[in-house]
Structure 1
């Protein structure tokens, strides 16, 4: 597989692995909180009926989905890379008749002080 030598735009990069893992952990904790709530409501709510069965299914099935979704990362290959060259101008647009301004340059040369009795150059 040939790697591209072109620079990739910072806006098209995938999220950092730390950020992605953090979002997956948050989703897992939310789903497990819902599962625990289903379990508690299943035991506490009386009289038992169809709603108890729905809460039991939620308490049984939610851990499977929580673990699967926590372990599956996002597909970063589907993100299309944006080349930064498109955003930059091709060449400076200076009219040909405009005078070229040269920068003002001040040069300082450091010299040792002349010795006593030596002729100056």
Structure 2
């Protein structure tokens, strides 16, 4: 029997790579009111332009790092950035990819209802 409560090696490697690129550790404290790790979401396209992804697709909020405030000049007030693991690899609107996870602006996430037991 194996203990599955800890991070899987791919997640550890992903975290190390992301932290190296960012030059800082990922935030671990989950903000109140944010989508929780494991939440099912649909990544949606923007209504005003052809992006940021080629299609809408399903994914899961990833616990690799907690949601962070979006500090981009065009972000919405209080908007968070979420790490999302994709159900299948995806291409962005410029054709780059495939990506298996990415940091997604909150406005491009639609939370899916959990099926009732």
Larger radius of gyration: 1
TM over 0.5: no
Q: TM-score range by the shorter chain?
A: under 0.3
Looking at secondary structure, tell me which structure has more strand per residue.
2
Looking at secondary structure, tell me which structure has more helix per residue.
1
State TM-score, norm by structure 2: 0.18
